[in-house]
Amino acid sequence: MTPEYLTPVPNREIVGSRAFNLEYLPYARSDQSIKDDIIAYLGEYRFQIPRHEYSLFYSVDDSGSVSLLAQDGETMGMKSGRSVAERSQRGDPVHREKNETLGILNLERQLQTAKDGDTLFWASPPGPKDEGYGDYGYVYKGEIRDGRVNMTALRVENPTIEQYNRAMGRLTGAGFNFKHADEFLRHPLVVSRTISDSFTENVLVQEFNQLQDEEKQREFETAIKVLEPLIDRAIFAIKYGKKHEKLRTFYALENYAIELRDKTRQVYLRERIGYLLDNYDLDQIVASRSYEPPRAAGSCGSTSSSRNMLFSGDSIISSFLTQDKYGDREFKCPKCNMTNIRPIDELLDKCQHCGSTEVACKETTAEEDYSQEAA
């Protein structure tokens, strides 16, 4: 049988970045699955949340073979295999993806004999920085119940391979003496007993020398409630929009999420909970924030623009802009040369990118306009 990671696949274009490709395959069009992907992406890349919870499912056929499935119903083997094939076609490194695929096959074999109450542990140290990966990794904990694996991704900052070896050894009772991050990817382990969340977190605190930031977790969950109308608009653009529409809407979502993260969070967010952005507010947000967000590296690669994008962060915007009562809304910052876009009928007091006050706008009177023209 042909391994899934060698199965031919369509060569999807990257729209946005490798960290979040806005070009979904035709059959992956469930609103909920796209929403789950967006929330997971924002949590990891823009809010750096300490944990993310989701579910996997598995089914057993008549021969006893197990298939592990994502929430959207696609097998994890197909997802991982497609990633290998697409990256290979683009000439990107595939060592992590191939090892993840082998890890999925390994896990499916272990699930053949797993029982309810068993616990899964799977480690994912960070990949090479020169390939766009961040300086954090994950330890995944799964609780096996009724054909479901309830997963928790636990983030660890600046980990070493030796820390992973010690932590995985304590969590599973097995010997871990790996030398390379990829070895952990192909060796998930199902433990034949229930292991509590408190024990797991205690091990991670001791071995990785860090506490879980529960305040950051709460702030993210609150921010997602505020962002929900904008997430829905991004989903619509991803499913039905042209490339530039996908980019500008998703960029606006990211930039607005970063603003929520960076503001005086608690008071600001509490004021907005329960308030749904109306269409005019959404139009303003998309029009004024559709420039490319700051670069971030992470577990799926960098958020920087793909090489084969046809539109840059600047050029996708201009065709959508209209003038307002102050004139053109798009202009370059004289200090950083990045494009600024004013909100409709509003002026700027500083650059949206570098913060320079050289872009400061002021409203002039008719007399001032006349005197400037005469001069």
Report the C-alpha gap between 339 and 353 in whole angstroms.
8
Query: Poorest-confidence range of 99-103, 112-116, 189-193, 257-261?
Result: 257-261
Query: Do residues 285 and 256 touch, judged by C-beta distance below 8 A?
Result: yes
- What is the torsion angle, in degrees rounded to the nearest 10, for the CA atoms of residue 316, residue 318, residue 324 and residue 327? 150
Report the C-alpha gap between 202 and 199 in whole angstroms.
5
**pLDDT tens-digit profile of 28-64?**
568 888 999 999 999 999 999 999 999 999 998 989 8
DSSP output for 267-295: HHHHHHTT----HHHHHHHHHHS-SPPPP
Strands 136-145 and 119-124: antiparallel
Q: What percentage of the chain carries pLDDT values higher than 90? A: 46
Q: Is the pLDDT of residue 206 over 60?
A: yes
Query: Do residues 101 and 77 touch, judged by C-beta distance below 8 A?
Result: yes
Phi, psi at 193, each rounded to 5°:
-170, 165
Which residue pairs, CB below 8 angstroms and at least 24 apart, start in 155-159? 155/44, 155/48, 155/49, 155/50, 155/51, 156/204, 156/208, 156/210, 157/208, 157/210, 159/125, 159/126, 159/208
Query: Do residues 181 and 237 touch, judged by C-beta distance below 8 A?
Result: no
Neighbouring residues of 48: CB distance < 8 A, sequence distance ≥ 6: 136, 155, 216
Q: Is the pLDDT of residue 6 over 50?
A: no
94: confidence class by pLDDT, cuts 50, 70, 90: very high
- Residue 42: DSSP 8-state: I
Report the C-alpha gap between 168 and 139 in whole angstroms.
9
Report the C-alpha gap between 184 and 153 in whole angstroms.
15
Report the C-alpha gap between 124 and 6 in whole angstroms.
23
DSSP output for 141-204: EEEEETTEEEEEEEEEES--HHHHHHHHHHHHSS----SSHHHHHT--EEESS---HHHHHHHH
Report the C-alpha gap between 82 and 73 in whole angstroms.
15
19: confidence class by pLDDT, cuts 50, 70, 90: confident
- Report which secondary-structure segment, H or E, holds 332: strand 330-332
143: confidence class by pLDDT, cuts 50, 70, 90: very high
Query: Poorest-confidence range of 183-192, 225-234, 315-324?
Result: 315-324
Looking at residue 323, its pLDDT comes to: 56
Please state, as a whole number, how many other Cβ atoms lie within 10 Å of the Cβ of residue 221.
Answer: 13
Query: Do residues 38 and 235 touch, judged by C-beta distance below 8 A?
Result: yes
Query: Poorest-confidence range of 109-113, 220-224, 292-296, 345-349?
Result: 345-349
272: confidence class by pLDDT, cuts 50, 70, 90: low
277: confidence class by pLDDT, cuts 50, 70, 90: low
Residue found under tokens 């700051």: 294
What are the sequence ranges of the domains in the chain? 51-207, 215-320
The arithmetic mean of pLDDT across residues 319-331, rounded, is 60
**What is the value of pTM for the model shown?**
0.76
Please state, as a whole number, how many other Cβ atoms lie within 10 Å of the Cβ of residue 233.
Answer: 21
Looking at residue 235, its pLDDT comes to: 93
List the structure tokens of 240: 């039905």
**pLDDT tens-digit profile of 279-321?**
668 888 899 999 989 888 888 877 876 443 333 333 333 333 4
